[in-house]
Amino acid sequence: MKQINYLKLIFVTLFVASSFSFLQAQNGAIKGNIIDDNGMYVPGAAVMISDLNKGTTTDFDGNFTLVEIPAGTHILVVKYLGYEDHKEEIQVSANKTLTVELTLNSATTTLGTVQLIGGISAQSRALNTQKNKQNITNIVSTDQIGKFPDANIGDAVKRIPGITMQVDQGEARNIIVRGLAPQLNSVTLNGSRVPSAEGDNRNVQMDLIPSDMIQTIEVSKAVTPDMDADALGGSVNLVTRSAPEDFRLAATLGSGINFITDKRILNGSILVGDRTNDGKFGYMISASINDNDFGSDNVEAEWSNEFEYNTGVKDSEGEDILEEEAVNPYASEFQNRKYLVQRVRRSFSLNLNYDFDDNNSIYLKTMYNWRDDRENRFKYASEILDAEDISADDYTISNGNLIQFPAEAKRETKGGTPTRRKNPKSTFRRPANAKLYVRR
């Protein structure tokens, strides 16, 4: 009896397996690419087969894939913000991949005698991609970046909600996401982690990359399981430009003047891209230069409400007896600095891709950045002498105000770049026994 039951079990198992294999054999796949009426990729578009209740979204290059589709005739529906819904009848064959190329038409709205034809911009594509993200994400496109005079990508990122930047010489450098320190955030370039240019921290210097070289900025404020777990604040992904569908040439040139140094500001960029006639090989080459000769004035002071001096009397151990007197707040140390800076930022990018067929492709994305900082600093500093060097005749107090006290002054100049070309720092200082009386 047991032997008969075992035979029944084996028979049922084989029947179910063969049925499942038969069903699998009746399925096919759909692979496609979606562009708009201008030949631009359409990312974040919703692609659905309504009768199967199955769908997906396109990636940043407008590609999508649907698998396990039953063989037969289906209606493929594409929906995208700012475009008319597109319906396409497709025929899926068993064990085969159907390749489709779809073009969306811009939505048209007629108001009386005025006809508005809505064209989609890169920022609209970015917003559609942002809408389909499952985590808290902000996406900014190159069109939006180009509306502001941001020389580096750090200045562009700081305009995104929830992000602030640590600033160096007026340019945004280290990123702060939702109030967390720069070392708690990560930066990637085309999905690959960018290391810090400094050896003692994890901060990524965002002012190294010109804003002209980036196509899209993706800021993820909530880390998902597919991302590195060391980004507690968030992760910033910088996407470089991809090869276009048709020939594209663009160039920008700008200039200005800095009123502190009366020196010029120079900005320039160029990009060229194309694809072969068979559509297999594409390239995008871009270059950028930013030469800014600027300066800044800086005043720093340390305040104190206590004044200490030497009474001229020694204790039993031969040490000077110091006396402390409370006074109104005064600047015990004062520094007046002037910075003259020339910052030159150069960048070059080369992106290549080759499609062997519908299912296989390779790509190469490269970027080279170089920045020079030539900084001259002029500093004048005055600091009150140590209490041991101040006698009762060296200061004057009137109504609690310290109106005269001895101080030591020094001038300092520093110039060069933070490389082997750096000039040695020179300091000019008064002799220690000379007193400079500061009157207020």
Q: What is the pLDDT of residues 325-379, one digit of tens each?
A: 888 998 888 899 988 888 888 899 898 989 888 788 898 888 888 888 888 888 8
Write down which residue in 209, 240, 271 finishes a domain. Answer: 240
In tens, the pLDDT along 220-244 reads 877 777 777 777 778 888 888 888 8
pLDDT band at residue 382 under the 50/70/90 scheme: confident
Domain assignment present for 117: no
- Would you say residue 424 has pLDDT above 60? no
Domain assignment present for 156: yes
Let me know whether 377 and 263 are in one domain.
yes
Domain assignment present for 402: yes
pLDDT band at residue 421 under the 50/70/90 scheme: very low
- Would you say residue 434 has pLDDT above 50? no
pLDDT band at residue 126 under the 50/70/90 scheme: low
Let me know whether 186 and 168 are in one domain.
yes
pLDDT band at residue 313 under the 50/70/90 scheme: confident
Q: Write down the pLDDT at residue 343.
A: 87
- Would you say residue 116 has pLDDT above 70? no
Domain assignment present for 38: yes
pLDDT band at residue 272 under the 50/70/90 scheme: very high
HEC secondary structure over 381-433: EEEECCHHHCCCCCCEEECCEEEEEEEEEEEEEECCCCCCCCCCCEEEECCCC
- Would you say residue 295 has pLDDT above 80? yes
pLDDT > 90 fraction of the chain, expressed in percent and rounded: 9
In tens, the pLDDT along 153-204 reads 888 887 787 788 888 877 888 888 877 778 888 888 887 888 887 777 778 8
User: What's the structural domain count of the chain?
Assistant: 3
Let me know whether 148 and 24 are in one domain.
no
CA distance 224 to 231: 10
Let me know whether 229 and 292 are in one domain.
no
Query: Cα angle at 343 between 341 and 344, to 5 degrees?
Result: 150
Let me know whether 74 and 137 are in one domain.
no
pTM of the model: 0.54
Write down which residue in 53, 74, 107 finishes a domain. Answer: 107
pLDDT band at residue 422 under the 50/70/90 scheme: very low
Distances (CA, A) of 383 to 93, 171, 327, 409, 440: 86, 31, 17, 6, 14
pLDDT band at residue 121 under the 50/70/90 scheme: low
Let me know whether 98 and 126 are in one domain.
no
Taking residue 336's Cβ as centre, other Cβ atoms within 10 Å add up to 14
Domain assignment present for 349: yes
CA distance 203 to 375: 22
Let me know whether 324 and 351 are in one domain.
yes
- Here the CATH number for the domain that contains residue 94 is 2.60.40.1120
pLDDT band at residue 113 under the 50/70/90 scheme: low
Domain assignment present for 420: yes
- Would you say residue 2 has pLDDT above 50? no
**β-strands 137-141, 27-36 pairing:** unpaired
Let me know whether 78 and 148 are in one domain.
no
pLDDT band at residue 147 under the 50/70/90 scheme: low
Let me know whether 14 and 50 are in one domain.
yes
Q: Write down the pLDDT at residue 64.
A: 93
Let me know whether 284 and 401 are in one domain.
yes
Domain that holds residue 433: 248-439
DSSP annotation of 118 reads P
- Here the CATH number for the domain that contains residue 152 is 2.170.130.10
Whether 233 contacts 178, CB under 8 Å:
yes
Domain assignment present for 276: yes
In tens, the pLDDT along 41-98 reads 888 899 999 888 889 999 888 899 999 899 889 999 999 888 888 998 999 888 889 9
Looking at residue 111, its amino acid is: L
Q: Write down the pLDDT at residue 420.
A: 45
Range 298-312 burial, b when 16+ CB lie within 10 A, else e: eeeeeeeeebebbee
Which own/partner pairs from 316-322 qualify as long-range (CB within 8 Å, at least 24 positions apart)? Answer: 320/388, 322/387, 322/388
CA distance 264 to 293: 6
pLDDT band at residue 129 under the 50/70/90 scheme: low
Write down which residue in 240, 260, 278 finishes a domain. Answer: 240
Q: Write down the pLDDT at residue 65.
A: 92
Average pLDDT, the chain: 78
302 or 113: whose pLDDT is higher? 302
Sheet holding 63-70, edge to edge: 63-70, 27-36, 97-104
Let me know whether 258 and 392 are in one domain.
yes
Q: Write down the pLDDT at residue 8.
A: 58
Q: Write down the pLDDT at residue 122.
A: 55
Let me know whether 367 and 402 are in one domain.
yes
Whether 74 contacts 92, CB under 8 Å:
yes
Domain assignment present for 114: no
Among the residue ranges 137-141, 188-192, 307-311, the one predicted with the least confidence is: 137-141
Q: Write down the pLDDT at residue 5.
A: 56
CA-nearest of 243, 252, 188 to 220 is 188
CA-nearest of 163, 186, 300 to 236 is 186
